[in-house]
């Protein structure tokens, strides 16, 4: 065996905040363990790097596995290197060969670490040149964390089974043996065989399909992604899918039950793309298609190149859809084109993407809309930082993630703390006319590359050479490494929130005996965003509304009838905070009908916090866990203090 041993020890850090004490457990790794450049990867791309991937796989919808070959082109980065180190998780490695000669290559598979999988080390062929081609024959596990396999009965149409992947943050290693770190980018091609009733799509351009000559019950699909991407952006979906054109370079895909509604809702996609191009430069990916996934998808959206995945909870007919689509479109530049080097610098992806997203919305819907979006999310950031994360280690813009599952550290912080830093810098450096050229130059400078925060900061200083004295006054240590809220709170234009605050104050100040002054007309002229802001402001009241008031609010405003998921979330949290027993059934219905973590986790936490609903919540979760996405189930289990599944 050529695999060096991996030593690790369990360590703890303790954080006290309010009435909550949290313990962060992490693995301390030796230099022979996880990579020194990425605390979430076994790979060592500084020695030998993956530069191209070609997949040749069969999708088995009965066994819930992929099997076949991964053909890797790797390039030595140093003299004397004779192995390549890859990430793998629950993969059955059958054989490794020199693709050119067919010669068998020796390899070793290390012990599995629960979160990070196993180190796969392959002895390289003895050939001239630094670029070498190896083929790995393998099979995925039915429990691979990258996939969710659904039966036909779990789909809207109940006609065909369904498969979708979610490789971010570090789940691609359960799909493909690869260097599963965002510091490594590579183009890929794929030839995937599936039952002929299944339509397959990937995060790449389709280059055709044909009936399998050896089995006419199957279809072979071919794909090519020419733009180098990190492993977490490899994506695949298969099911009974249809599409509609929504623009000159865009289609929307889903089951036929949703496709027409989705085409209507996503009709502004091309306008958003053009607006993003005016801010960030040319769109390099060719296609920009959208896929509406089944309700169990754990995120609002996932920025897979050429094929953005989105949740069906967006089909509610308001601007919450615009928020998500503008965000995922923005990732085409910030995240996909310029990528964080490792998960500790995740804010480079998400902070910039939120910044561009709000620029798009400001240009399309007006600056007040951008301002109120930022102000609303500031409040949500504050609640998350103080009440959920307890000003702990994951509130840092650049957290220490050694031995930490990136999914455990996932929160609003890199999004909104990152955005706040960029908004603050824009204000400090002279406004949009000064800062937007920097944004475009930053993307041009680092496109197709992966960077860290120091590289970003160095470029910022070089671009604004005439304003270095201004930049030197920024408290960079606190911004990057300080826990808690950002050191600076921007002054946002909150004029659109004035009627929301006034109505909130009125409900707060009015006695339970004088509620007749309220009527359904109170919110008649409010937009969905304003209703959401109103509910959030009520939630943040130091003295919670009485149960009598909450019941009166429902009588007048009919919030239980709302389809908008953002409004439902705020409303149900308010009801649970007031200990309204009737709301438990509505809360359970909400978490059972969709799996978006933004909604599911806060509801489960609220149900757990109330002793009257705790047992019901746990019982419901345990019964639904087999149907949930693995990431969602794992994190909700922790929210309910049940540990790992």
Binding annotation for a peptide: 166-168, 298-303, 596-598
Pairing of strands 199-202, 236-239: antiparallel
Q: What does the alpha-carbon distance between residue 263 and residue 257 come to, in Å, rounded to a whole number? A: 12
Q: Per the structure block, which two tokens stand in for 484? A: 């808690």
Confirm whether 557 is a catalytic residue: no
DSSP 545: P
Quick one: which of 575, 502, 523, 587 has its CA closest to 545?
575
Q: Are 360 and 329 in contact (CB under 8 A)?
A: yes
Measured CA distances, 242 to 212, 239, 251 (Å): 22, 9, 10
DSSP helix/strand/coil, 332:
coil
Catalytic residue among 328, 357, 554, 634: 328
Q: Are 50 and 85 in contact (CB under 8 A)?
A: no
Q: Are 283 and 303 in contact (CB under 8 A)?
A: no
How does DSSP assign 507-526, residue by residue? HHHS-GGGGGG--GGGGTT-
Catalytic residue among 26, 107, 415, 442: 415
Measured CA distances, 551 to 519, 578, 603, 614 (Å): 13, 10, 19, 22
Report the interhelical angle of 630-639 vs 597-609 (nearest 10°).
20
| Residue 68 dihedral angles phi and psi, to the nearest 5° | 150, -135
Confirm whether 188 is a catalytic residue: no
Which residues sit in the known binding site? 166-168, 298-303, 327, 331, 350, 596-598
Measured CA distances, 270 to 128, 241, 278, 335 (Å): 48, 22, 12, 20
Binning the chain into helix, strand and coil, the percentages to the nearest 5 are: 40, 25, 35
Which residues sit in the known binding site for Zn(2+)? 327, 331, 350
DSSP 170: T
Q: Point out the residues that are catalytic.
A: 328, 415
């Amino acid at each position: 065996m050529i695999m060096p041993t991996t030593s690790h020890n369990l360590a703890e850090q303790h954080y006290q905040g309010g009435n909550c004490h949290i313990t962060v457990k992490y693995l301390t790794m030796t230099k022979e363990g996880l990579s020194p450049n990425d605390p979430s990867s076994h790979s060592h791309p500084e020695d030998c790097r993956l530069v191209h991937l070609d997949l040749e796989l069969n999708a088995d919808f009965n066994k819930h596995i992929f099997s076949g070959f991964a053909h890797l082109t790797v390039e030595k980065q140093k003299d004397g290197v004779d192995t390549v180190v890859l990430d793998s998780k629950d993969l059955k490695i059958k054989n490794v060969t020199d693709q050119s000669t067919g010669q068998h290559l020796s390899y070793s598979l290390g012990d599995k670490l629960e979160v990070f999988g196993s180190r796969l080390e392959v002895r390289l062929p003895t050939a001239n040149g630094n670029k070498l081609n190896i083929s790995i024959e393998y099979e995925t596990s039915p429990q691979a964390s990258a996939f969710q396999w659904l039966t036909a009965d779990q789909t809207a149409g109940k006609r065909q089974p369904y498969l979708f992947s979610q490789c971010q943050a570090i789940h691609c290693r359960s799909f493909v043996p690869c260097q599963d770190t965002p510091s490594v980018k590579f183009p890929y091609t794929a030839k995937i065989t599936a039952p002929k009733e299944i339509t397959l799509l990937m995060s790449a351009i389709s280059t055709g399909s044909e009936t399998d000559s050896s089995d006419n019950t199957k279809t072979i699909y071919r794909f090519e992604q020419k733009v180098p991407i990190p492993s977490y952006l490899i994506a695949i979906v298969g099911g009974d899918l249809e599409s509609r054109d929504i623009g000159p370079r865009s289609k929307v895909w889903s089951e036929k039950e949703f496709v027409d509604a989705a085409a209507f809702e996503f009709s502004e996609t091309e306008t958003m793309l053009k607006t993003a191009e005016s801010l960030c430069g040319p769109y390099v990916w060719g296609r920009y298609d959208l896929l509406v996934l089944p309700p169990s998808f754990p995120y609002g959206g996932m920025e897979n190149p050429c094929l953005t995945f989105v949740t069906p909870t967006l089909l509610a007919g308001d601007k919450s859809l615009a928020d998500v689509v503008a965000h995922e479109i923005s990732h085409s530049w910030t995240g996909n084109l310029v990528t964080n080097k490792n998960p500790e610098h995740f804010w480079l992806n998400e902070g910039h993407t939120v910044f561009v997203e709000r620029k798009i919305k400001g240009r399309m819907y007006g600056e007040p809309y951008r301002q109120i979006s930022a102000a609303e999310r500031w409040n949500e950031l504050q609640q998350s930082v103080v009440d959920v994360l307890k000003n702990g280690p994951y509130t840092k813009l650049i957290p220490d993630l050694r031995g930490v599952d990136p999914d455990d550290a996932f929160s609003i912080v890199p999004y909104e703390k990152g955005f706040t830093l960029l908004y603050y810098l824009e204000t400090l450096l002279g406004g949009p006319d000064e800062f937007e050229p920097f944004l475009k130059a930053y993307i041009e400078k680092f496109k197709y590359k992966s960077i860290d925060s120091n590289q970003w900061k160095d470029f910022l200083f070089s671009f604004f050479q005439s304003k270095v004295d201004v930049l030197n006054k920024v408290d960079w240590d606190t911004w990057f490494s300080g826990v808690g809220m950002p050191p600076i709170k921007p002054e946002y234009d909150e004029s659109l929130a004035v009627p929301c605050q006034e109505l909130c104050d009125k409900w707060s100040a009015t006695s339970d005996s004088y509620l007749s002054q309220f009527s359904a007309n109170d919110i008649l002229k409010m937009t969905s965003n304003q209703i959401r802001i109103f509910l959030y402001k009520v939630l943040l009241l130091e003295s919670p509304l009485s149960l009598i008031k909450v019941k009166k609010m429902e009588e007048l405003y009919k919030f239980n009838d709302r389809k908008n998921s953002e409004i439902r979330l705020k409303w149900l949290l308010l009801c649970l905070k007031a200990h309204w027993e009737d709301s438990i059934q509505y809360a359970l219905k909400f978490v059972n009908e969709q799996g978006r973590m933004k909604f599911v986790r806060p509801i489960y936490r609220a149900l757990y916090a109330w002793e009257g609903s705790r047992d019901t919540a746990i019982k419901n979760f345990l019964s639904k866990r087999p149907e949930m996405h693995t990431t969602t189930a794992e994190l909700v289990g922790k929210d309910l203090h049940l540990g790992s599944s």
